Structure 1
């Protein structure tokens, strides 16, 4: 699916060559996933397809090291990071330059075991509490996709989880939900200016071209990769960014035009200054798509996602499109 830093036309050929639908993959699954209960699932297994690299071909990170953000010089000002600001501990930034190549970071922040996740094909960046029914899980990348979204797996039961919704869809954990935590994507400059004593995840000890984008031009395409579901309604482009809060979604373009919107009990604000991670080869040079914060009436940050419209429609087919009409 996604490890080689290729230009889009070649990347499309690569995807077509390696991606197989679920029926062709299921015999391999049984050998590769001997501890996964494929007899228990909440989705049609035919919707799951190989993404290219197999299990752990995209290696998740565990217990990453952090350094003072004030001293970090490798990350460009406009590069996106996922921010976690929990009471009682220094704020943390997880750079997308690393998550592009690893997709999941298993960490512990303020005593909370968290999974910081990023699915490039859906632009979905979500942070979850890794505790389920009193049990702490750790997550890896299965190498499979459903509706073009990353399928994670937990190492404890080898159940499969849909990243976009935080739900187990295959295996003994089927039906279990992860609690999404408040976090947001912003530029490294914005994080560092607001948090001069904040921490940033240090560069992992893997041989990867960190800072390079293997999905050059992806968010300008007319069609997403490895997706054969329905396209969004209302004439919305499939790879248009939507700010999803619960089952509602606001077009990012509407927020950029207005700057701030208060609707349905939430206030969403937009500011310029963050590069797209899915545009140019150099992540920090990507076009400015802005950054948002989502807060409730009391000013508290709310869990949300900024995902592509096709993915929102796939996972929330009955969701509310907040178009302002």
Structure 2
């Protein structure tokens, strides 16, 4: 089950007291007997907190079924989906209504092994090639958080991975980075119009309240859940969205005003038609946040992320903020 949203004062209290007291490999070893805790890039184990659910308490999905767009379930017009459009195959849509409850989908597209991931607490939606040195990996959810971002694990070595950057931070594969593939979030109507012959992930066979948002009002909160790091600069609210390309971040507010920005060799375009997945109790009814496409000078889609400002600052502390100049 997804992590519940706690009142801010209680969340801070937990993060400062009870949870860090258990942030120790000796405590985790019984649940993770095959993880090599002697190898890590984490400075202090207190950076890793329990998000509530145990290992696989948020169940990742494997080899999901798909249906043609024309046979898709009743998705709202602005309901967000993650779009993956690899060459030589039909574009695929992974509805956030499912990823909110599962966070990871292990899929194969035209024999390309991919991991489609979504961390609601960071609004980070990334697709990775789940292959390292020719070896296919599959991923699950540890139930742990670091800087409020999901910590994944691979089932093959039980190394732990930071979702927001796709890097192994604990275990045998520490320091290894996954390749991020170009993908983007789009409103459902935008996807089905652009890809009438596309595919959409079918509803998983789990007892979940798909379409509802267990994090209602989260992206309007004053502080992130279980986060004690520094707040973003430039008076940017911590839960404001930014478009991250590499180690640069463009505030979404700037994009919505400009419509299009061409800087640093990239073109970022904003259009209406996508609901926030972290606003109202029904995902399809969330407030307008718009669609983002990021392309290079040749028009090719670029890997990027639309994440919360606090998460960018936490994982890219030396990153460049592309504020109004």
TM class, shorter-length: over 0.9
Unpaired segments of 5 or more residues in structure 1?
none
TM-score of the two chains, using structure 2 as the length reference: 0.95
Cross-structure match for 1:33: 32
* RMSD across aligned positions (CA): 1.7
Structure 2 Cα separation of the partners of residues 39 and 197 of structure 1:
49
Deviation at 1:10, TM superposition (A): 6.2
Cross-structure match for 1:93: 93
> Relative to structure 2, which stretch is displaced further, 21-30 or 284-293?
21-30
Is 1:275–1:287's contact at 8 Å kept on the other side of the alignment?
Answer: yes
Cross-structure match for 1:115: 115
Structure 2 Cα separation of the partners of residues 41 and 214 of structure 1:
32
Relative to structure 1, the CA distance from residue 305 to residue 145 in structure 2 (aligned partners, 3 Å threshold; closer, same or farther) is same
Matched length: 322
Is 2:169–2:175's contact at 8 Å kept on the other side of the alignment?
Answer: yes
1:196 lines up with 2:209 in the alignment? no
Is 1:249–1:320's contact at 8 Å kept on the other side of the alignment?
Answer: yes
Relative to structure 1, the CA distance from residue 123 to residue 110 in structure 2 (aligned partners, 3 Å threshold; closer, same or farther) is same
Structure 1 Cα separation of the partners of residues 98 and 266 of structure 2:
31
1:220-274: CA deviation from partner (whole Å, max 9, x where unpaired): 0111110000000011000000000000000011011010010000000000110
Structure 1 Cα separation of the partners of residues 97 and 9 of structure 2:
22
Aligned positions of 1:150-165 closer than 5 A: 150-165=150-165
Aligned positions of 1:241-320 closer than 5 A: 241-320=241-320
TM-score of the two chains, using structure 1 as the length reference: 0.95
1:147-166: CA deviation from partner (whole Å, max 9, x where unpaired): 00000000000000000010
1:157-184: CA deviation from partner (whole Å, max 9, x where unpaired): 0000000010000001000000000000
Structure 2 Cα separation of the partners of residues 210 and 54 of structure 1:
21
Deviation at 1:15, TM superposition (A): 9.0
Unpaired segments of 5 or more residues in structure 2?
none
